[in-house]
Chains A and B, each alone.
Chain A
Amino acid sequence: MIRLRDVLAAFEQGEAMSLAQLAKNLGVEIDVLDTMIQFWVRKGKIREVCSWGAHCEKCGSHSKCAITTTVPRHYELVKNA
């Protein structure tokens, strides 16, 4: 049975990962994985990144950009969190 700490450990390799990728690696359903990731996002250990890179978040249209809203969400470990 996967635990929250296992989810966090999966990000410790340093690369941003999509939900689908991580769900496949951990052998868990995407939906429950999403809530587990949101737990760590709230604790500031993981953050969502635009799959095209962190800079997209600085764009004023990021939340409305059709490209970023259609590409699957990616997450990465927050360093020094």
Chain B
Amino acid sequence: MSSIALAGNPNAGKSTIFNALTGSHQHVGNWPGKTIEKKEGRLRAADQRQITLVDLPGTYSLNAFSVEELIARDYIIDSKPDAVICVLDASNPERSLYLVTQLFDIPVPLVIALNMSDVAEKRGITIDYEQLSTKLGGIPVIPTIGVWEKGIKQLIEVMLTTVQNYAGSPVQMDLGATIETEIAQLQTIIEQDTTLCQYPARWLAINLLENDQQLHKRINQNRVLVEAVATSTQRITEASGEEPDTLIADARYSFIMGVTRDTLTRRPRTTATFSDKLDRIFTHRLLGIPIFLAMMAIVFQVTSIASVPFQDFMDGVVNGPIMRWTATIVGLLGLRDTWMNALLVQGVIPGVGGVLVFVPPLFALFLAIAILENSGYMARAAFVMDRLMSHLGLHGKSFLPLLVGFGCNVPAIYATRTLENEHDRKITGFLIPFMSCSARLPVYALFGTAFFGAASGSLMFAMYIIGIVVAVLTSLFLTKVVYRNKANPPFVMELPPYRLPSLKLLLRSIRERSLAFLHKAGIIISTISLVVWLLLALPTRPGVGSFNDVAPKDSVFGTISSVISPVFIPSGFGTWQASGALVTGIMAKEAIVSTMNQIYVDEEGGKPAAALATPQPSFVDDLGFIALSFGKATVLTVQETFNIIPRTINLLPGITIPEFAFFGADTSGGNTSTALQSILATAFSPLSAVSFCTFVLLYVPCMATVTALRQEYDSRWMITQVFYAPGVAWILATLVYQIGRLLGLGG
């Protein structure tokens, strides 16, 4: 014997068995002409014979529906290994055995390794291996646990014995009288064609009846066979009312169900699973919603507090080394005294950099939401919120688009297509812009840290709640007044089991969302920064300055913004800077922060100019600064994550729990302000900061969302939302500010 093929299902532990059989004697390449990996190894038999083991791609069948199936099948047929070890998943026996029924048709010694038998036992599956072997015509069935190398020795021994004693395929599965009659006729024709002698005749006949296109091409030259197959197919279809492949598959499934019925028992589920027990709490009629709100509050605490050290790190790097390196390169290109220098140093870098500073909290938000999604909790949240949705006149399915809206409103608008009822779609779409998307988070983080320090998470949480409350009230109005007679179909949903979040899925989810944000920052924000810089550089009229040498207030940008700003006086932020930033926020909400960075920091002769005027550190010093800052940020992030617990408990009166301070690190929460935050602390009051954030939360959706509204619904609905939202935003922001003043909370 010289070669053995290792076939089997995907995820059945075939590779583990392969590694256990071959140890380090492996060679990895590709299957000829394919990108799929081919692994070959050597195993040493008890009599010291060297046997080549070929690991075939994992497949559930040997039909030619996929490249993997084709490779596996062609190897067994063309290369004619001395034996096939078929690795099956013992915890899914019914699914696994389909492959075995197809191997019956190929005359090759076969041994079955029923792997993961420990998993089967945990799932309450008991298999009578001897009886199973009998039912499979005496094919040996060896229970194995590949990860522990259990059963491997026995597998090799049985395989050698099987090859030695092989006397032809032990099982010929009965596919039914109709099919068997046609197979017999086709077999006769096949056996007469010497060009087809490499194929087992019965196997070829069956696959031709199953309409295997690869094999049909192969027999093209044999017109007699081609016509015979067509005639057989027609006869079978007329006699049974089914196509041959359906009848053949049916016969296999019947065989499998018969075998498993006689050899396998499943322990009935009488006790509640772990998921069931958790669901009694998480979907409790009264506790469900408070638990959901508590989860969201924790998410925002983690997002706002734990990410602050890395925000400071990003700010330090952008306004330090990045700014200096850019200035150096510009200088080397001889452009230092040109507008290009100003464009980069005062426009693009503050603009884009101002937004990149908020990558850490966004990353933290994406991570937290990904954990909740992956664990299966979000499905429970949808189930719990269905009760609330129905009180609001909405369908439970509305929850998903609204939830997606917390990430980005644009896909959330498209996600309303999942709602069958047109009114549900339009109402849900109308509410989505009130879901505070991740683009608004930089604004909350900016003002939250500037004015409320460690309590910035509370500001964020409050903004999300305000958005939800406004959405709820709007929904009530739309469903009880505008769409009074809307029908509400029942919402049926199956809850997936809870599971530990997969690190791979988490990282994939975070990477996608972060890349989308960076892409947006790279293109849209940098474009807006460029336009804002240009408008800030242009004087409104002669005499007030020249290009790139004009006070921001006297620039085109400042003048336009000044026209709008009186509208916001009642709301507490009636300055041209604030209204100018809000205008750019119509394009993309993140632009509010980048514009503020350009306006306020440049106006104050802030960091860009100052940083470049002082003695410049060397490139090596800058690299050292980056490395040290990163290390410090990492330590502080871990510290602040742990400190969420004592800090939350310390909110209770009379309780003081010490907070963590690793390695004597700064316990202020890394709460050092950026240049913009320091300036904002003088330009706004805490109350006007809250009213500003409230306005940002609710005012007109970004252009991309407006476009999506127009595409998904109609212009009238889009225009209604575009006028409704800023109206609500102004009213609420003004109420917040004026009531706050009346209550003596500042002004």
Q: Are B256 and A56 in contact (CB under 8 A)?
A: no
CA distance A72 to B379 in the complex (A): 10
Count, chain B residues at interface, CB 8 A: 42
Q: Are A67 and B494 in contact (CB under 8 A)?
A: no
Find A35's partner among B95, B379, B411, B417 (CB 8 Å cutoff).
B95
Q: Are B494 and A32 in contact (CB under 8 A)?
A: no
Please choose the segment from B283-291, B370-378, B641-649 that sits at the chain A interface, where 4 or more of its residues have CB less than 8 A away. B370-378
Q: Are B418 and A56 in contact (CB under 8 A)?
A: yes
Find A61's partner among B245, B418, B512 (CB 8 Å cutoff).
B512
Q: How far apart are B263's CB and chain A's nearest CB, in angstroms?
A: 14
Q: Is A10's beta carbon under 8 Å from chain B? A: no
Interface centre among B94, B370, B505 (most CB of A within 10 A): B94
Find A42's partner among B65, B370, B508 (CB 8 Å cutoff).
B65
Q: Are A52 and B95 in contact (CB under 8 A)?
A: no
Given the known inter-chain contacts A1-B254, A56-B418, please indicate yes or no for A20 contacting B494, CB distance below 8 A: yes
Chain A contacts for B499, CB-based, 8 A: 70
Q: Is B397's beta carbon under 8 Å from chain A? A: yes
Q: Which residue of B lies closest to A7 (CB)?
A: B253
Interface centre among A31, A35, A64 (most CB of B within 10 A): A35
CA distance A4 to B242 in the complex (A): 10
Q: Are B418 and A39 in contact (CB under 8 A)?
A: no
CA distance A67 to B260 in the complex (A): 34
Q: Are B494 and A34 in contact (CB under 8 A)?
A: no
B interface footprint on A56-80 (CB within 8 Å = 1, 0 otherwise): 1011010011110111100000000
Q: Which residue of B lies closest to A38 (CB)?
A: B60
Count, chain A residues at interface, CB 8 A: 37
Q: Are A66 and B374 in contact (CB under 8 A)?
A: yes
CA distance A35 to B379 in the complex (A): 26
Chain B contacts for A3, CB-based, 8 A: 250, 253-254
Chain A contacts for B98, CB-based, 8 A: 35
Q: Is B711's beta carbon under 8 Å from chain A? A: no
Q: How far apart are B46's CB and chain A's nearest CB, in angstroms?
A: 36
Q: Are B397 and A53 in contact (CB under 8 A)?
A: yes
CA distance A66 to B374 in the complex (A): 6
* Interface members, chain B 28-56 (any A CB < 8 Å): none
Q: Which residue of A lies closest to B61 (CB)?
A: A35
Q: Is B747's beta carbon under 8 Å from chain A? A: no
Q: How far apart are B80's CB and chain A's nearest CB, in angstroms?
A: 28
Q: Are A52 and B397 in contact (CB under 8 A)?
A: yes
Q: How far apart are B89's CB and chain A's nearest CB, in angstroms?
A: 9
Find B496's partner among A42, A56, A71 (CB 8 Å cutoff).
A71
Q: Are A66 and B505 in contact (CB under 8 A)?
A: yes
Q: Are B496 and A72 in contact (CB under 8 A)?
A: yes
CA distance A66 to B513 in the complex (A): 12
A interface footprint on B498-531 (CB within 8 Å = 1, 0 otherwise): 0100000110110010000000000000000000
Q: Is B446's beta carbon under 8 Å from chain A? A: no
Q: Is B1's beta carbon under 8 Å from chain A? A: no
Find B414's partner among A20, A50, A59, A69 (CB 8 Å cutoff).
A59
CA distance A41 to B256 in the complex (A): 20
CA distance A20 to B496 in the complex (A): 10
Chain B contacts for A51, CB-based, 8 A: 493-494
Q: Are A31 and B95 in contact (CB under 8 A)?
A: yes
CA distance A42 to B418 in the complex (A): 25
* Interface members, chain B 382-434 (any A CB < 8 Å): 397, 400, 411, 414-415, 417-419
* Interface members, chain B 52-97 (any A CB < 8 Å): 60, 65, 92-95
Q: How far apart are B666's CB and chain A's nearest CB, in angstroms?
A: 35
Q: Are A29 and B417 in contact (CB under 8 A)?
A: no
CA distance A3 to B252 in the complex (A): 10
Given the known inter-chain contacts A31-B94, A32-B95, A35-B60, please indicate yes or no for A52 contacting B250, CB distance below 8 A: no
A interface footprint on B358-377 (CB within 8 Å = 1, 0 otherwise): 00000000000010011010
Q: Are A67 and B397 in contact (CB under 8 A)?
A: no
Given the known inter-chain contacts A5-B242, A55-B414, please indicate yes or no for A64 contacting B512, CB distance below 8 A: yes
Q: Are B250 and A4 in contact (CB under 8 A)?
A: yes
CA distance A40 to B509 in the complex (A): 31
B interface footprint on A8-29 (CB within 8 Å = 1, 0 otherwise): 0000000000101100000011
CA distance A28 to B105 in the complex (A): 27
Chain A contacts for B496, CB-based, 8 A: 70-72
Chain A contacts for B250, CB-based, 8 A: 3-5
Q: Are B415 and A56 in contact (CB under 8 A)?
A: yes
Q: Which residue of A lies closest to B369 (CB)?
A: A66
Q: Are A66 and B370 in contact (CB under 8 A)?
A: yes
Q: How far apart are A55's CB and chain B's nearest CB, in angstroms?
A: 4
Chain B contacts for A34, CB-based, 8 A: 95
Q: Are A5 and B246 in contact (CB under 8 A)?
A: yes
A interface footprint on B189-208 (CB within 8 Å = 1, 0 otherwise): 00000000000000000000
Q: Are A72 and B374 in contact (CB under 8 A)?
A: no
Q: Is B215's beta carbon under 8 Å from chain A? A: no
Given the known inter-chain contacts A53-B417, A53-B419, A64-B509, please indicate yes or no for A70 contacting B94, CB distance below 8 A: no
A interface footprint on B229-260 (CB within 8 Å = 1, 0 otherwise): 00000000000001001100110011011101
Chain A contacts for B512, CB-based, 8 A: 61, 64
Chain B contacts for A65, CB-based, 8 A: 509
CA distance A77 to B730 in the complex (A): 49
Find A55's partner among B257, B374, B418 (CB 8 Å cutoff).
B418
Chain B contacts for A72, CB-based, 8 A: 494, 496
Q: Are A52 and B373 in contact (CB under 8 A)?
A: no
Interface centre among B95, B258, B374, B378 (most CB of A within 10 A): B95
Given the known inter-chain contacts A31-B94, A53-B417, A56-B415, please indicate yes or no for A70 contacting B249, CB distance below 8 A: no
Q: Which residue of A lies closest to B243 (CB)?
A: A43
19 residue pairs A–B, Cβ–Cβ below 8 Å: A1-B257, A20-B494, A21-B494, A31-B93, A32-B94, A32-B256, A32-B260, A35-B60, A35-B98, A36-B249, A36-B253, A43-B246, A52-B400, A52-B415, A53-B417, A55-B414, A65-B509, A69-B505, A70-B378
Add 6 more A-B contacts to A21-B494, A43-B246, A56-B418 (CB < 8 A): A2-B253, A4-B246, A38-B60, A59-B414, A66-B506, A70-B378
Closest 6 CB pairs of A and B: A53-B418, A66-B373, A55-B417, A32-B94, A31-B95, A52-B418
Contact surface of B with A, Cβ cutoff 8 Å: 60, 65, 92-95, 98, 242, 245-246, 249-250, 253-254, 256-258, 260, 266, 370, 373-374, 376, 378-379, 397, 400, 411, 414-415, 417-419, 493-494, 496, 499, 505-506, 508-509, 512
Contact surface of A with B, Cβ cutoff 8 Å: 1-5, 18, 20-21, 28-29, 31-32, 34-36, 38-39, 42-43, 50-56, 58-59, 61, 64-67, 69-72
